[in-house]
Structure 1
């Protein structure tokens, strides 16, 4: 029976370290030069239009995307995800959002591909999708995550703190409370 010495352990550990280093090097080359994926940063906020002739000033929820490169990307649709329940056995469900067509001049939507979607973004370009500002918008399906999907099928989400602050502002807005009770 062969006895493993300290020198044998050193060779085994060195070979494992070499394998990990080569794998990391290959992954870096692959992800940076062969198949680079653009990074999209998404943000969510409340917006208000300020100008002549608007009384009261139109308000909306805005979902914005910024392409941080290294290449072009096509934003396909705006999506939302409900709170994940651990006892669901099926895959996650997503909601397609309907952006406003020409906010603030027109507060209607033509479906999930209105409002300029799909949109190709070059590096450094931004895109804003505007949505109706309503408390029921958050309550429908208990939506908590908002973002965009790209042409590769990847999802890009706004940070949770953005959606929480938008939700808190909408829930505390008294004029919106009056509007929702009349509808």
Structure 2
């Protein structure tokens, strides 16, 4: 399997891909930044689906580093994959937790049959992670996921995902991701994975 990875500057809520990833909080009920923008653009159906998840399968919320899919409401994507990034301000500085956000999101994307997935810079910004670290860890985690998917016996892992697009809100963030993508694969490996 060949997985194409690219980075663009843009608005993730306008992406016409199969799935977009939401940098959610554990409540799944909306918040600020990317999370708030996705909930606003998706309309009330997304919040209703998230509330149902909380009522049924996630009564304690979504754990840091995990991911879950919902429909996309009014968004042009088919699915929203919610992941909770580690918050550096709360002492959550383990790179493996951040890498898990990306790999678990890809696992979920493969399970729902998404061929294309858009990611924001999970944990950069209000969660306090340095954008260069986020870029390096994200690119390394996705490359490792794609490598593990080659020849994997389970069709749920890597069978469908063909494109990962980082959709980033600022030039400086885009530059960090472009640098991580340009680095040789061995140098972008996430620490602790």
TM-score, normalised on structure 2?
0.29
Could you say which structure has the higher helix fraction? 2
The structure where strand makes up a greater share of residues is 1
